[in-house]
Structure formats: structure tokens, C-alpha cells
A = this chain, B = another copy of it.
Amino acid sequence: MTRNAVSWDHYRAFLAVAETGSLSAAARQIGQTQPTLGRQIDALERALGLSLFVRSPAGLTLTEGGHDLLPDAQGMAAAAEALLRSASAGRDETAGVVRITASEIVGGAVLPPVVAALQAQHPGLVVELVLTNRSEDLLRRDADIAVRMVRPDQNAVIARQIGRVPLGLYAHEAYLARCGSPQTLADLSTHTVIGFDRNPAAARALEVGSGWDRRLFRFRSDSDLAQLAMLRAAGGIGVCQAPLASQWPELRPVLPDLVSFHLDIWLAMHEDQRRNRRVRVTFDHLAVALRAYVDLKTLPSASGSLE
């Protein structure tokens, strides 16, 4: 139909140069040579009739026009990687690569033992775990399976609601012994409260949920895992998922009757992967394990020590 004179390899060259910032680095990345990539970029610019980079002795930097093309080139790369993943094993084997994306907390604190158990059962299974609180990935094939705290409302995506996770304020018993336990919300202003830094999504959620102010926080980080580490290091009072907190007896609820809310957990995969055995097996395993995690609720549990 539309015969297209420009080679797809030129797009890959474009992406590699844009991401590395130089022909030489890009050549190292994709296993080619600097003159080759230079000529491919030349050819692409000629074919598109558009200047993509400004060249300098320090490397190449994207022009505005080139910047506009970057997301699409990334989309191509994501699809290419997904294709390689699909080809990494036969559809009937529980082997090959499965790429999972999850929120920081779930991916960093909940999934590792779950994945470990899964891999123990299936020695040929390779798992890639991407921690990000964005979630724009399934349709673009950035991942095969997504664990999300919002309903994935996309067509062509199979979503299963796992359950509802209660959240609350917690603190380490050592912290409470040192600084005392707040009895009212107002007491919090005299404590070290752990919270986000600049995360706009968190800011919006906070504003809606309560009249809290970011200035309340005496320790601020946009890394949920850093916040959790601070909490476990007896560094202050912070929000934690109840099933997670229940795994560490030294974490004690703070103002449990005054502060409590919840998040839904969703598991999602792409429709096309339904008949792919390794994705399906991973999906089902995650569903069972996350269901068990949710059911922990606030009960203490002896299992799963997490460094």
C-alpha cells in the first residue's frame, strides 16, 4: 500500500542515538559502528526531510522535531522487545521471559518472594520486574503483566480485581518509645512524619482525601521504598499497607481509628497473551499470591522475611 523507503533499522539507529546522546555510544549499544550509525541518521534525515539532531564534538542532541518522534520510536522498540519475549519460548512451555510491572511498594516489598516461589516451580522461567508508579505500559507492550492499584480500564486488556488493601499509619516501636504515641491528629505536628516529596499524583490524592499539607512531612521522598525503609528504621510515622506492616511485629499502628483508607489491587495482562502458557501461569500464580497477601490484612504472620 504505502511503500516506505526508510528502513526500520534507521528508526532503531535514531532511537539508540537519541537515548545515548552520541553515535559512538549508540554504536556500542546496538553492536554497530559509529560511521554506520552516522550514515543511517543522515539517510533518515534525508528521507524524512527533517533535521533530527544537532551535531557537536560532544555528541548529538535532539532537535525539537526529533524529540517529537522519540515516543513512537520507543513504541517500536517496546514492541520489538515484546516480540522477542514472545519468541523466547514455545507457547506450550512454562519457560522464557515474562516481564512484570508493578508499583514500587508491591514490586519491591511484596513480589520478590512470590516470584521466587514461582521460579522455584519453573526453572526455565525468566522474570523481568519493572517498578514504576506510572501505568501506561500494557497496550504498548512495555510489560506482559501489570500489578496496579487502579482499575486498568483499557480494551484488549484482561483485568482481574485481586482485592482491597487497607492502609494506615504505622511507626516502629522504638520510635514510639523514643517520641511517644500521638493521641490525636494534631499531635502529629510534633512528630517526624514520613511523606512524599514532589509527586504530583500523591499531592492530588492527599488534597482530596484530607486537608493535610505537605509541610507536615519532616521526611520527604518520592520513593515509596525509601519511605518504607525509613519507617522500618524507626525514623518516623508513615503510611504503610496493612498486610505489609503485619509482617513486621515491631511496626505498630498509629491512630488506627482516625486514619485509614484503602487501595484496590488489580492484575492485568494483554488479551493476546491469553493462550501463552508462561504468561498465563505467571498471571495465575500472582493472582493466588496477591490474594493471600491481601487476606493477611492486619493479622501478624510469620512468613516471608524481607530484607
Known contacts A76-B83, A91-B68; is A155 also within 8 Å of B141 by CB? no
Mask of A120-140 contacts with B, CB within 8 angstroms, 1/0: 000000000000001110011
What residues of B have a CB within 8 angstroms of the CB of A300 in the complex? Answer: none
What residues of B have a CB within 8 angstroms of the CB of A154 in the complex? Answer: 136, 139, 153-154
**Are B50 and A31 interface neighbours, CB within 8 A?**
no
Question: Is A307 among interface residues, defined by CB-CB distance under 8 A?
Answer: no
Q: How far, in Å, is A71 (CB) from chain B's closest CB?
A: 5
**Are A11 and B80 interface neighbours, CB within 8 A?**
yes
Known contacts A31-B3, A272-B71; is A8 also within 8 Å of B76 by CB? yes
Mask of A2-40 contacts with B, CB within 8 angstroms, 1/0: 111111110110000000000000000111000000000
Mask of A67-96 contacts with B, CB within 8 angstroms, 1/0: 011011101101111111011001100000
Complex A-B: 29 CB contacts under 8 Å: A3-B30, A4-B84, A5-B31, A8-B9, A8-B76, A8-B80, A9-B9, A11-B80, A11-B83, A49-B87, A64-B91, A65-B90, A65-B91, A68-B91, A69-B87, A72-B82, A72-B83, A72-B86, A73-B79, A73-B83, A75-B75, A75-B78, A75-B79, A75-B140, A76-B76, A136-B155, A139-B139, A139-B154, A151-B153
Mask of A287-307 contacts with B, CB within 8 angstroms, 1/0: 000000000000000000000
What residues of B have a CB within 8 angstroms of the CB of A29 in the complex? Answer: 1, 3
Q: How far, in Å, is A227 (CB) from chain B's closest CB?
A: 23
Number of copies: 2
Interface range, A side = 35 or more
Question: Is A208 among interface residues, defined by CB-CB distance under 8 A?
Answer: no
Question: Is A177 among interface residues, defined by CB-CB distance under 8 A?
Answer: no
Q: How far, in Å, is A263 (CB) from chain B's closest CB?
A: 16
